[in-house]
């Protein structure tokens, strides 16, 4: 599945700088960041659900 993302301003510049510094494609860095963000959010939601059920 593909997706298009608009990254604006300072965040776009930070991604560009990191990609150049690490010789890693911006898409790979964005995918990694999104995976980490979703993992934390999913864990947080699960913890809330478990707390409500207790």
The DSSP-derived string for 1-54 is --------HHHHHHHHHHHHHHT--HHHHHHHHHHHHHHHHHHHHHHHHHHHH-
Q: Do residues 48 and 40 touch, judged by C-beta distance below 8 A? A: no
Domain ranges of the chain: 9-53
Q: Whats the size of the chain, residue-wise?
A: 54
| Average model confidence (pLDDT) across the chain | 94
pLDDT of residue 21: 98
The Cα–Cα gap between 35 and 37 comes to: 6
Predicted TM-score of the model (pTM): 0.81
Q: Between 3 and 18, name the one with better pLDDT.
A: 18
């Amino acid at each position: 599945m593909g997706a298009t993302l608009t990254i604006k301003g300072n965040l776009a510049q930070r991604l560009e700088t990191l990609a150049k510094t690490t010789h890693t494609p911006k898409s790979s860095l964005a995918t990694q960041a999104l995976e980490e963000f979703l993992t934390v959010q999913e864990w947080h939601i699960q913890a809330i659900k478990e707390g409500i059920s207790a």
